[in-house]
A and B are shown apart, each in its own frame.
Chain A
Amino acid sequence: AQTVTQSQPEMSVQEAETVTLSCTYDTSESDYYLFWYKQPPSRQMILVIRQEAYKQQNATENRFSVNFQKAAKSFSLKISDSQLGDAAMYFCARRGGATNKLIFGTGTLLAVQP
């Protein structure tokens, strides 16, 4: 099955600290795309970061970075200097083949403690 697994239903981090959210996936493709989306209480889905599987370099976007381990099919998200506004549900997703659909994980609810 082509699945995406997020094993941490909930995480908590202190403001200004660093937190890592885990994601593993299953695919038989060699070229694919991975994404992290953030869903705050407003329910808007916001793209945080993307990784192209053919690129060995880990993607970074300001305080957000990924640890992409292609052989292990692992794609974790690191949030540095956590801010109160980072509190949200985070979804890992994989682009599903030629149809371009997104296959989502079950999400990790991140709380940021002041």
Chain B
Amino acid sequence: DTAVSQTPKYLVTQMGNDKSIKCEQNLGHDTMYWYKQDSKKFLKIMFSYNNKELIINETVPNRFSPKSPDKAHLNLHINSLELGDSAVYFCASSQASGRIYEQYFGPGTRLTVT
């Protein structure tokens, strides 16, 4: 049983293209996140949705557009890809209430822009 899944795991594309990464969680959590891990392994929050509502948008270029069709899914669409977008993108989920805040991560999507 995969708790948080992402597709695809690897994505190689050319500059200027548009691509999407999908995320699904079956943990019954109400909050989902996107993190970016750069080439130096630094992890930084990009977006967060709680019950399909955007609650965090950390000064990410508007070429990045998250979409949450329901509580269990959070997709990330990237327009006009640039070389600097190459990174590993992690989806995560957690429960926002009940004082249990640990986040569970998906396997990551390694995006390479050439």
User: What's the count of A-B pairs with C-beta under 8 Å?
Assistant: 56
Chain B, residue nearest A42 (CB): B107
As a 0/1 sequence over residues 87 to 106 of chain A, the CB contacts with chain B under 8 angstroms (1 = contact) are 00101000110011111101
Interface string of A26-70 (1 = CB under 8 A from B): 000000010101010011111100101000000000000000000
Question: Chain A interface secondary structure, helix, strand, loop or mixed?
Answer: strand
- B90: A residues at CB distance < 8 A: 45
Number of B interface residues at 8 Å Cβ cutoff, please give it: 27
CB of B31 within 8 Å of the partner chain = yes
| A100 contacts B31, C-beta separation under 8 Å | yes
In the complex, what residues of B have CB within 8 A of residue A104's CB? 42-44
For chain A, give the interface size range.
20 to 34
8 A Cβ contacts from B66-114 to A: 88, 90, 92, 94, 96, 99, 101-105, 107-108, 110
* Chain A residues close to B by CB (< 8 Å): 33, 35, 37, 39, 42-47, 50, 52, 89, 91, 95-96, 99-104, 106-107
